[in-house]
Chain A
Amino acid sequence: MYSLRAEPSAEFVPPSSKDFVLPPIFGDNEFTTKPIFLVILSIILVSVFFIASSRKAAIVPSKLQFAGESVYAYVRNDLGKDIIGHDFMRFVPYLFTLFTFILTNNIFGIVPLLQFPTMSRISFAYVLGIITFAVFHYVGIRHHGIFKYVKDILFMPGVPKPVYILLTPIEIATYLIVRPLTLSLRLFANMFAGHLLLLIFILGGEHLLQGSIGLKLVSPFAFSFGIALTFFEFLVQCLQAYIFTLLTALYIAGALADEH
């Protein structure tokens, strides 16, 4: 009679946040970890792809040119023109870089052999959040002048005076802390949780294989669930790249708007 319980000696160690701290590849230089190489790889991949797709531009586009141009047109029209409005071309290079960079780095999470989303290390997400934070405040200050910009944030026009007691602290927190923090945390948390989820199903399936015959029969279900979740992760990764870029565009549009 086979028992459904695993051997007590082979305890299953659930994946935790320690699995995200990868050792340095060369010696003990902390700057040669896997995420750093993934960032460099993504920069090379994105540049090579878009240079190659736009090098021999023709009126009747080749397949490569079509692929590159549809990504660009998507960012320019749906994220730039529709949201920022007129004068949007200034920000398209930034939005486009952001979108392709985040998308490539996220998709590394499900590419075989790489399989590590760079943004599941929070420092990378923080840097992106800080850049966006600097960009939209700089744009707002340049557009309105520092005095009017700060005044519009502190005292939102068209609001009854007593409401300012509540509204002003909320606005200050929103513009200085909440926006950059949630922007980077959203990206980080989604990548982190997604990678952890895949780890649990794949490692769990592997652990079930080492158990009794009953557990071995269940193990394929864990693996196939892992594969299904990989496709789900692909959806989440594209969505997160989209949301990060969309929110950046929204914040820039808000900083440029005449009435906050």
Chain B
Amino acid sequence: MTGTLNLVGYGLAAIGPGLAVGMIFAAYINGVARQPEARSVLQPIAFLGFAMAEALALFGLVLAFVL
């Protein structure tokens, strides 16, 4: 079996952003469930936070292929 260890490293590196994205949306769902009218205020914040957390996973993906 051949392959590169980079991808194993990327798998490990994706744990952090994965947890982060989960927590962001958990908080968003909690907020909307408690106060449904706050949905339009919370949605952009949730997606901005999601984008920032996911950026880390994307850097990992790039480094896994580049290095």
Q: Are A82 and B47 touching (Cβ within 8 A)? A: no
- Contact flags B9-49 to A (C-beta < 8 A → 1, else 0): 00000000000000000000000000000001001100110
Per the CB 8 Å criterion, the residue count for chain B at the interface is 12
B40/A182 in contact, CB under 8 A: no
User: Which chain B residue lies CB-closest to A254?
Assistant: B48
Complex Cα–Cα for A197 and B5 (A): 20
Q: Is the CB of A185 within 8 A of B47?
A: no
Contact (Cβ within 8 A) A247 B58: no
User: Do the beta carbons of B47 and A182 come within 8 Å of each other?
Assistant: no
A82-B44, A185-B62, A246-B44 given; name 11 further pairs at CB < 8 Å.
A82-B40, A182-B54, A186-B51, A189-B58, A189-B61, A243-B51, A246-B47, A250-B44, A250-B47, A250-B48, A253-B44
Residues of A within 8 A of B (CB): 17, 82-83, 178, 182, 185-186, 189, 243, 246-247, 250, 253
Give the residues in chain B near A182, CB-CB below 8 Å. 51, 54-55, 58
A246: B residues at CB distance < 8 A: 44, 47
Contact status B58-A83, CB under 8 Å: no
B37 CB → nearest A CB, Å: 13
Contact between A243 and B55 (Cβ–Cβ < 8 Å)?
A: no
User: CA of A247 to CA of B48 in the docked complex: distance in angstroms?
Assistant: 7
Q: How far is the CA of A182 from the CA of B50 in the complex (A)?
A: 12
CB-defined A-B contacts under 8 Å, sample of 15: A82-B40, A82-B43, A178-B55, A182-B51, A182-B54, A185-B58, A186-B51, A186-B54, A186-B58, A189-B61, A243-B51, A246-B44, A247-B48, A250-B44, A250-B48
Q: What residues of chain A lie closer than 8 Å to B44, measured between beta carbons? A: 82-83, 246, 250, 253
**Residues in A neighbouring B48, C-beta threshold 8 A:** 247, 250
C-alpha spacing A186/B60, complex, angstroms: 12
Does B51 lie within 8 Å of A185, measured CB to CB?
Answer: no
